Amino acid sequence: MTRLFGTDGIRGRANTHPMTCETALKTGRAVALMARDMGQHQVVIGKDTRISGDMLESALAAGVASAGATACLAGVIPTPGVAYLAACMTDVGAGVMISASHNPFYDNGIKIFQKGGIKLTDDQEKSLEAMIGDPERSPGETVGTISIVSDSLERYARFLLDRFPFEKLSPRIRLVVDAANGAASDICHQVFNDSLFDAVFIHDQPDGFNINKDCGSQHVQDLQEQVAARKADIGIAFDGDADRMIAVDETGGMITGDRILAICAGHAKKKNHLPNNRVVSTVMSNIGLTRALDAMAIKHIRTGVGDRRVLAQMQETGAVMGGEDSGHMIFLDDHTTGDGLLSALRLMTVMAETGRTLSDLASVMQVFPQVLKNVEVDTSCPDFMQIPAIAEAIEAVSSRLGKNGRVLVRYSGTQPLLRVMVEGPEKEVTTAGCDQICQAIQAHI
């Protein structure tokens, strides 16, 4: 069987292999059997706002029930909300989120959490994938049921807000929230409510097709305009399933994950809330993050791309803070997984406790020019370093940059793309280097 799981669950174009009802049904059955093997009999299922969400939800729920477990439907809810429910609800052995994150509406995906709200390990994914493809594994004669978790958003909102004393703020923080027409569209009103914040909401009217469309964490132009027009203190943008967050400061400047990590880590250290004095990020993180953490005497640990890799490294090293520049940030002292709403609350807590503007806080880190381009490739994914012209281009650019920059080329784990990242002291040099490598890839793959 072709490998189903990428860097973040199963993903693809909805109604096309592997994102079909058949795959969803088999996945629901396998997840339920995994839960039952651990003595649990319920599986929580959430979704974002894509038109295909209902279809895949029905198939997953049928699969869960066919294996003798109860499918607990949480409705439209952020991915970290599913993780929270998988951790707090009695007799729940797994959580399943239907989402393709920041991808367009026509894609969808299946993300799976084990009991406790933690994403599956590589070994668990391999085991589950084998169960999905095993026609011999019988679900047995017991038939389960399907139920509705009617208060899923209220539970999750309480979980988030109980951690932060925003009711004491005067004046309230002025913010603009971009919900990406996705999973945060409803709950953002509950979390950033009128009694705690002076908030304005944009892109919170999903129609099944407009999720991530010219909005959200990858398209912050509207957010920047609204922050300026309303003289807001901060703007926050989520992606489709709200597990990532990008901020906009009061001047309209974009504040991505690396600088948010630097801000939060520095503040936590000053308050003696940074156990083991370390932060984990991926190889995609900006050189500026390393230099900022070094200046604060915080150890910086790099790991592979993907929030699962970040979490694994955090658990191994005892770090409580980590993330990706894309806006996935994990605060293990608060939650088990990356959470965009939680990240926004943590960042605004620093603003409230220091009395400093976001642009001032962000000055803790100098961002080195970084150019990232995607080259479409076929699905064969050859070893590009074995292609002389590509290897020579990468080596040439790396040599020119020396110690003042770096090159990273990798295949996407979710799309047929080869990602090329070049980082250096000058924008023109990094752009030219990235173009050189991309041209070699286009000519030979």
Across 13-31, average pLDDT: 96
For the entire predicted model, the pTM comes to: 0.89
- In which band, very low, low, confident or very high, does the pLDDT at 7 lie, cut at 50, 70 and 90? confident
**Residues designated catalytic:** 101
Q: Give the pLDDT of residue 2.
A: 62
Going from the N-terminus, what domains does the chain have, and what CATH number goes with each? Answer: 5-152 (3.40.120.10), 171-253 (3.40.120.10), 256-362 (3.40.120.10), 370-444 (3.30.310.50)
Across 252-277, average pLDDT: 97
Q: Which of 17-21, 134-138, 189-193 has the lowest mean pLDDT?
A: 134-138
Across 189-199, average pLDDT: 95
Across 235-241, average pLDDT: 98
3-state DSSP of the chain: CCCCEECCEEEEECCECCECHHHHHHHHHHHHHHHHHCCCCEEEEEECCCCCHHHHHHHHHHHHHHCCCEEEEEEECCHHHHHHHHHHCCCEEEEEEECCCCCCCCEEEEEEEECCCEECCHHHHHHHHHHHCCCCCCCCCCCCCEEECCCHHHHHHHHHHCCCCHHHCCCCCEEEEECCCCCHHHHHHHHCCCCCCEEEEECCCCCCCCCCCCCHHHCCHHHHHHHHHHCCCEEEEECCCCCEEEEECCCCCEECHHHHHHHHHHHHHHCCCCHHHEEEEECCCCHHHHHHHHHCCCEEEEECCCHHHHHHHHHHHCCCEEECCCCEEEECCCCCCCCHHHHHHHHHHHHHHHCCCHHHHHCCCCCCCEEEEEEECCCCCCCHHHCHHHHHHHHHHHHHHHHHCEEEEEECCCCCEEEEEEECCCHHHHHHHHHHHHHHHHHHC
